[in-house]
């Protein structure tokens, strides 16, 4: 893996974070602006080495059926995309990638700082480019930002290169999980954003209810639906 380069933002070089190095994200320098990111061909797994499941395991069949496609988690902030995504990736022995973390690592800023400095349209344009490049690195489990599906091209790419899973959560659950968050600029607008975004999330291939119970249970439900969506025969009990 080549060493990730530094990013120049308004003349200042900022070092890339460990997440950038782990995922093989390389960022070019363009004077005076945030340059969203050129991905290397082979990114490595976040959270350690990948161990392959047994040849006949259901997880192996799912990964084989995915081919080069990614499992793409969509939904509102607070739905549990990162936490559930890490567990799902561990179950499948696939890399887990968080698009928001990649954006922050590449930009050398938090998402709130990007919003404050450049505004939401600028952030969304960069987010779309990051997700487009990440989707070329499947198979993986990819957690997307809550507003990423606003972009029609992003929706089309996810449909082409991924299997999308909507982690659907009730408004009360979302508010409980995000009420103390200060790292996402739109957290206080969840009540307004949810009815606008839900029709976009509802286009996902699989819908699973995210709720306040162990996330491994949610992963179990995803693993029950993935084989059916991928056209795999259900395992008969022995």
Domains of the chain: 44-229 (3.40.50.300)
Q: What is the pTM of this model?
A: 0.76
CB atoms within 10 A of CB 38: 13
- pLDDT one-digit tens code per residue, 168-205: 999 888 888 887 665 555 667 888 889 999 999 999 99
> Whose CA is closest to 39, among 76, 11, 70?
70
- pLDDT one-digit tens code per residue, 114-146: 999 999 999 999 999 999 999 999 999 999 999
Is residue 43 scored above 60 in pLDDT? no
d(CA 32, CA 29): 9
pLDDT, residue 187, reads 63
pLDDT, residue 56, reads 56
80 — pLDDT class (breaks 50, 70, 90): very high
Find all residues with CB under 8 Å of 234, minimum gap 6, and list them.
227, 228
Tokens of residue 183, six digits: 């790292």
What is the 3-class SS of 113-170, one letter each residue? HHHHHHCHHHHHHHHHHHHHHHHHHCCCEEECCCCHHHCHHHHHHHHHHEEEEEEECC
Interhelix angle 99-107/111-118, nearest 10 degrees: 60
d(CA 63, CA 67): 7
> Whose CA is closest to 186, among 131, 149, 146?
146
pLDDT, residue 13, reads 23
* Mean pLDDT score, 46-60: 59
């Amino acid at each position: 893996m080549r060493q990730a380069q530094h990013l120049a933002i308004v003349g200042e070089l900022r070092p890339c974070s460990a997440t950038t190095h782990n995922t093989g994200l390389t960022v070019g320098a363009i004077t005076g602006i945030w340059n969203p990111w050129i991905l290397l061909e082979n990114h490595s797994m976040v959270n350690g080495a990948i161990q392959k499941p047994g040849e006949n395991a259901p997880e192996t069949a799912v990964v084989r059926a995915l081919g080069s496609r990614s499992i793409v988690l969509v939904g509102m902030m607070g739905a549990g995309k990162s936490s559930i995504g890490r567990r799902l990736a561990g179950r499948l022995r696939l890399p887990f990638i968080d698009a928001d973390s990649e954006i922050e690592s590449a930009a050398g800023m938090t998402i709130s700082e990007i919003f404050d400095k450049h505004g939401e349209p600028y952030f969304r344009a960069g987010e779309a480019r990051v997700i487009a490049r990440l989707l070329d690195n499947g198979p993986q489990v990819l957690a997307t930002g809550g507003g990423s599906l606003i972009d029609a091209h992003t929706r089309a790419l996810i449909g082409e290169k991924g299997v999308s899973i909507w982690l659907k959560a009730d408004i009360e659950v979302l508010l409980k999980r995000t009420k103390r968050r200060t790292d996402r600029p739109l957290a206080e607008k969840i009540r307004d954003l949810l009815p606008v975004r839900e029709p976009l999330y509802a286009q996902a291939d699989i819908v699973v209810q995210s709720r306040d119970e162990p996330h491994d249970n949610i992963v179990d439900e995803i693993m029950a639906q993935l084989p059916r969506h991928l056209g795999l025969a259900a395992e008969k009990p022995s």
